[in-house]
């Protein structure tokens, strides 16, 4: 589904990503993990050509992104969604309008937009929040809106850049469950950047460890499932006592 062939990206003389060859299979959840500055976000952004490689090729679904003209690239990008640590919602637009933006930009037929927006909001469990504004939502709800927006164009690939890093442990587990549902029910291939080992272990099938812009190793992960959480006060106490509340 995603193929990177000897991809290199430099900033000046600094090699942020160096000679990376990697294949992510259709239907896979693939983690990218590594220390700060290892090149995780740059590698993710290369996958939809938000970063242009200095050398190497990038294929999505057999299509060589690096060979496309602007209009063709815009078309190819419709099937690639992206979500971010800080959600990137438009503050003065409602939840409904935030999701619709993706459809407007993709020239989705106007008559079908409203139904598609509601279908996506229902999928992430937020249909009753359609007329609210981002400021009225919790962090987890904002990330759900961002997921709905990223899926609106019948997305085949979802790129996730630290999607849970701004969230507490319970909300983080909720978002990981939504991503798992996106993968299982919609068959979307997911690439997930995280600096948290637990996040990658909980939902990824395989993970690539990056070090100084290069692949250190790609490993298979045994399914461990998303950690069960509850909103009961005792679960907060348990996690606090175990020291597991917050980032690893």
Ligand X SMILES: Nc1ncnc2c1ncn2[C@@H]1O[C@H](COP(=O)(O)OP(=O)(O)OP(=O)(O)O)[C@@H](O)[C@H]1O
185 is written with which tokens? 């029910």
Residue 92 within binding range of ligand X, rule CB under 6 A: no
Q: How far apart are CA 207 and CA 228, in angstroms?
A: 22
Per CB under 6 A, which region of 33-41, 91-99, 216-224, 236-244 contacts ligand X? Answer: 33-41
Taking CA atoms, 13 is separated from 35, 36, 112, 125, in Å, by 21, 19, 48, 46
Q: Judged by CB under 6 A, which of 18, 24, 34, 175 binds ligand X?
A: 34
Residue 140 within binding range of ligand X, rule CB under 6 A: no
What number of other Cβ atoms are within 10 A of residue 146's Cβ?
Answer: 25
Cβ closest to ligand X, residue 10 vs residue 113: 10
Per CB under 6 A, which region of 36-44, 55-63, 131-139, 228-236 contacts ligand X? Answer: 36-44
Residue 40 within binding range of ligand X, rule CB under 6 A: yes
Q: Judged by CB under 6 A, which of 37, 187, 225, 244 binds ligand X?
A: 37
Q: Judged by CB under 6 A, which of 10, 195, 205, 206 binds ligand X?
A: 195
Shortest Cβ 41–ligand X spacing (Å): 3
Residue 187 within binding range of ligand X, rule CB under 6 A: no
For residue 5, give the H/E element and its range. Answer: strand 2-11
Residue 10 within binding range of ligand X, rule CB under 6 A: no
Shortest Cβ 231–ligand X spacing (Å): 29
Q: Which residues lie closer than 8 Å to 28 by C-beta, 6 or more apart?
A: 1, 189, 190, 205, 206
Residue 216 within binding range of ligand X, rule CB under 6 A: no
Residue 39 within binding range of ligand X, rule CB under 6 A: yes
Residue 16 within binding range of ligand X, rule CB under 6 A: yes
Cβ closest to ligand X, residue 72 vs residue 211: 211
Residue 53 within binding range of ligand X, rule CB under 6 A: no
Return the axis-axis angle of helices 233-242 and 169-186, rounded to nearest 10°: 100
Cβ closest to ligand X, residue 94 vs residue 165: 165
Q: How far apart are CA 131 and CA 45, in angstroms?
A: 31
Return the axis-axis angle of helices 110-123 and 95-105, rounded to nearest 10°: 130
- Could you tell me if residue 19 is left (phi over 0), alpha (psi between -120 and 50 degrees) or otherwise beta? left
Please, which residues bridge with residue 215 across strands?
210
Size of the site for ligand X (CB under 6 A): 11
Residue 18 within binding range of ligand X, rule CB under 6 A: no
Residue 42 within binding range of ligand X, rule CB under 6 A: yes
Which residue in the block uniquely carries the two structure tokens 């100084």?
212
Please, which residues bridge with residue 14 across strands?
11
Residue 38 within binding range of ligand X, rule CB under 6 A: yes
List residues near ligand X by CB under 6 A: 11, 16, 34, 36-42, 195
């Amino acid at each position: 589904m995603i193929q990177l062939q000897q991809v290199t990206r430099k900033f000046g003389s600094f090699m942020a990503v160096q000679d990376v060859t990697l294949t992510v299979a259709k239907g896979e959840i693939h983690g990218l993990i590594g220390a700060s500055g290892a090149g995780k976000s740059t590698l993710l952004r290369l996958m939809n050509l938000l970063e242009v490689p200095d050398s190497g090729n990038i294929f999505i679904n057999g299509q060589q992104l690096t060979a496309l003209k602007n209009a063709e690239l815009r078309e190819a990008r419709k099937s690639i969604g992206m979500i971010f640590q800080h959600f990137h919602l438009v503050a003065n637009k409602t939840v409904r309008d935030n999701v619709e933006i993706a459809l407007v930009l993709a020239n989705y037929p106007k008559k079908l937009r409203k139904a598609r927006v509601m279908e996506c909001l229902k999928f992430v469990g937020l249909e009753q929040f359609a007329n609210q504004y981002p400021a009225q939502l919790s962090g987890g709800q904002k990330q759900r809106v961002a997921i709905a927006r990223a899926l609106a164009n019948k997305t085949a690939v979802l790129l996730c850049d630290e999607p849970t890093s701004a969230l507490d442990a319970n909300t983080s587990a909720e978002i990981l469950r939504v991503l798992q549902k996106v993968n299982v029910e919609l068959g979307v291939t997911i690439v997930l950047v995280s600096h948290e080992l637990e996040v990658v272990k909980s939902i990824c099938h395989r993970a690539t460890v990056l070090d100084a812009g290069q692949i250190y190793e790609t490993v298979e992960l045994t399914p461990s499932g998303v950690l069960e959480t509850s909103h009961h006060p005792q679960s907060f106490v348990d996690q606090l006592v175990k020291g597991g509340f917050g980032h690893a």
